[in-house]
């Protein structure tokens, strides 16, 4: 299976950024759909089930953020800012099939909002407001930071392993709110005996992963509202097994393709409660 990147000097170099949050989310959704399709094609080629014709990917220097003429400096014009995890398996531009100049990306383990990350978000909202139409918090399944927070919550003795590192502790501490919220939601839905369930740790990790992305989106939205930038912040989670971003857990590839892909940050406690119950329904 060939994937060919092609630059056509006679093709139109113009690119219009999306006009609003809705169009930006649509662009990100179709980009992720293309990525998931390529992954599915690679999988079927690898098993010998089906071979696919070459895929031509057009290259646009303006979207890549490189100068068309040597010596010129390209404009910085991302249409979305994304706060994602540092996990190497979640390359933001790849999984959303975007070019380099499409996204202003901040990556930190556990996609948490520390002071420096907030500074980057604030910079983008202030200095790139003519192009940015959306804010996204991107979590992912199999997140090491969320898993560490859950394991420390379940077995606090393990905390001694990270106690000597202030930096690692601060990451885990920021995720702990979502772990506690996930635990309480699981008890509310399934009763206190849920802790005896054989999949309890797995359910806690998945619920905390989604809640952590939503909590960070809530924090980013609140900060942006405070500085009056008028950008809508959504959350999503990259479901690694299905190569799709999803706003609620997906059990199958079909599920991942049909579920809501991005959801706005919850606005208050009631919306967090509703969200946590919707997450748990799909575990
Ligand atoms: Zn992660």
What pLDDT, in 10s, does the model give residues 9-59? 888 877 788 999 999 999 999 999 999 999 999 999 999 888 889 989 888
For β-strands 80-84 and 134-140, DSSP reports them as parallel
Residue 110 pLDDT greater than 90, yes or no: yes
- The CA-based angle 111-197-249, given to 5 degrees, is 40
CA 145 to ligand 1 centroid distance, Å: 6
Question: How far is residue 121's CA from residue 7's CA, in Å, rounded to a whole number?
Answer: 32
CA 209 to ligand 1 centroid distance, Å: 9
Q: Give the pLDDT confidence score for residue 142 in this predicted structure.
A: 97
Tokens 């885990």, residue?
A: 172
pLDDT confidence bin for 269, thresholds 50/70/90: very high
Question: How far is residue 132's CA from residue 126's CA, in Å, rounded to a whole number?
Answer: 10
Tokens 């490189």, residue?
A: 66
pLDDT confidence bin for 87, thresholds 50/70/90: very high
**pTM (predicted TM-score):** 0.95
Identify the helix (H) or strand (E) that includes residue 115.
helix 115-127
Q: Which residues contact 118 (CB under 8 A, 6 or more apart)?
A: 220, 223
CA 235 to ligand 1 centroid distance, Å: 14
CA 113 to ligand 1 centroid distance, Å: 13
Q: Give the pLDDT confidence score for residue 169 in this predicted structure.
A: 82
Q: Give the pLDDT confidence score for residue 227 in this predicted structure.
A: 85
Q: Which residues contact 142 (CB under 8 A, 6 or more apart)?
A: 87, 89, 240
Q: Give me 185's structure tokens.
A: 């939601």
Average pLDDT over residues 157-176: 80
CATH 3.40.1050.10, applies to 3-7+17-281: yes
Q: Which residues contact 14 (CB under 8 A, 6 or more apart)?
A: 62
CA 140 to ligand 1 centroid distance, Å: 6
Q: Give the pLDDT confidence score for residue 122 in this predicted structure.
A: 94
Q: Give the pLDDT confidence score for residue 249 in this predicted structure.
A: 98
pLDDT confidence bin for 230, thresholds 50/70/90: confident
CB burial of 5-31 (b: ≥16 within 10 Å; e: otherwise) equals eeeeeeeeeeeebbeebeebbebbbeb
- The CA-based angle 242-24-208, given to 5 degrees, is 45
CA 215 to ligand 1 centroid distance, Å: 15
Average pLDDT over residues 242-257: 96
Work out the percent of the chain whose per-residue pLDDT is above 90.
Answer: 80
Residue 97 pLDDT greater than 90, yes or no: yes
Average pLDDT over residues 231-260: 97
Q: Give the pLDDT confidence score for residue 153 in this predicted structure.
A: 93
CA 89 to ligand 1 centroid distance, Å: 9
Q: Give the pLDDT confidence score for residue 160 in this predicted structure.
A: 72
226 or 167: which carries more pLDDT confidence? 226
Residue 164 pLDDT greater than 80, yes or no: no
Work out the percent of the chain whose per-residue pLDDT is above 70.
Answer: 99
CB-count exposure of residue 188 (10 Å: 0-12, 13-18, 19+): middle
Residue 159 pLDDT greater than 90, yes or no: no
Question: How far is residue 165's CA from residue 147's CA, in Å, rounded to a whole number?
Answer: 17
CA 246 to ligand 1 centroid distance, Å: 15
For β-strands 134-140 and 233-239, DSSP reports them as parallel
Q: Which residues contact 38 (CB under 8 A, 6 or more apart)?
A: 3, 55
Question: How far is residue 43's CA from residue 92's CA, in Å, rounded to a whole number?
Answer: 21
Question: How far is residue 252's CA from residue 229's CA, in Å, rounded to a whole number?
Answer: 38
């Amino acid at each position: 299976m060939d994937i060919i990147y092609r630059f056509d000097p006679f093709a139109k170099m113009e690119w219009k950024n999306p006009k609003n949050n809705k169009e930006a989310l649509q662009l990100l959704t179709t980009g992720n759909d293309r990525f998931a399709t390529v992954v599915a094609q690679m999988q079927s080629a690898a098993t010998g089930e089906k071979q696919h014709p070459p895929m031509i990917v057009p290259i646009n220097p303006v979207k890549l953020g490189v100068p068309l003429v040597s010596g010129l400096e390209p404009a910085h014009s991302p249409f979305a800012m994304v706060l994602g995890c540092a996990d190497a398996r979640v390359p933001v531009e790849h999984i959303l099939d975007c070019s380099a100049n499409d996204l202003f990306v901040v990556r930190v383990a556990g996609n948490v909002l520390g002071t420096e990350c907030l500074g980057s978000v604030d910079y983008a909202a202030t200095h790139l407001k003519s192009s940015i139409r959306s804010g996204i918090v991107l979590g992912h399944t199999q997140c090491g930071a969320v898993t560490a927070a859950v394991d420390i919550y379940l077995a606090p003795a393990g905390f001694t392993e990270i106690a000597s590192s202030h930096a690692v502790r601060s990451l885990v501490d920021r995720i702990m709110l979502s772990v506690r919220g996930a635990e309480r939601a699981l008890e509310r839905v399934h009763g206190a005996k849920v802790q005896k369930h054989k999949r309890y740790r797995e359910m806690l990790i998945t619920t905390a992963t989604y809640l952590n992305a939503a909590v960070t989106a809530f924090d980013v939205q609140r900060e942006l509202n405070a500085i009056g930038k008028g950008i809508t912040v959504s959350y999503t989670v990259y479901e690694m097994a299905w190569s799709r971003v999803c706003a609620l857990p997906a059990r199958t590839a079909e599920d991942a393709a049909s579920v809501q892909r991005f959801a706005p940050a919850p606005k208050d406690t009631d919306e967090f409660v509703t969200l946590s119950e919707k997450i748990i329904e799909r575990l």
